Amino acid sequence: MLGTRELFPGTLDMLILKALSLGPAHGYGVLLGIEEASRGLLTLEQGSVYPALARLERSGVIRSEWGRSENNRRAKFYRLTQRGQSRLAHELSRWDEMVRAVFNVLDVKPESA
C-alpha cells in the first residue's frame, strides 16, 4: 500500500480534484472515495487531505458550503469550480505525459553486444 507521503508532489491535489469531479463530497468522503477508487492501494491521512482541501479552496479550484453528512452531522461539502475543472484537465494531461515518458524509459532494452 502507498501512503500520502509516498505520492509524487501535486498528486494528492489531482486525486482530490478527480474525486470532486464525480460530485460534491465532505472531506472524509473525498478521502474514502480516493482510497476506494484505488482498490485499497492508497491509504490517505486526514492530516494531509484537509490541508490540501483548504489550499485548493484558497486557490479557487474548489468551493465549500456547510451541509449535513449521511449520519446527520454538520460537515463542509466541497465541489469543483469551473477553474477546478480546467485545472484537473491540465493535470490529467500532464500526468498522462509523465506516465508515458517514464514507461518509455523503463521499456528501453539493453543493446546486444
Considering the domain boundaries, does residue 8 fall inside one? yes
Condensed to tens digits (0 to 9), the pLDDT of residues 11-20 reads 999 999 999 9
* Statement: the pTM of the whole predicted model exceeds 0.85: yes
**Residue reference for cell 490529467:** 92
Residue 88 structural domain: 2-106
Q: Is the pLDDT of residue 3 over 80?
A: no
Condensed to tens digits (0 to 9), the pLDDT of residues 28-45 reads 999 999 999 999 899 999
Instruction: Find out whether 5 and 47 touch, Cβ atoms under 8 Å.
Output: no
Considering the domain boundaries, does residue 113 fall inside one? no
Q: Average pLDDT in the 32-59 region?
A: 94
Considering the domain boundaries, does residue 67 fall inside one? yes
pLDDT at 70: 86
Q: C-alpha distances in angstroms, 72 versus 60, 66, 67, 69?
A: 28, 12, 9, 5
Q: Is the pLDDT of residue 62 over 70?
A: yes
Considering the domain boundaries, does residue 35 fall inside one? yes
pLDDT at 113: 59
Q: Which CATH number covers residue 82?
A: 1.10.10.10
Type of residue numbered 80: L
In this structure, is the dihedral angle defined by the CA atoms of residues 71, 72, 78 and 79, taken in order, positive or negative?
positive
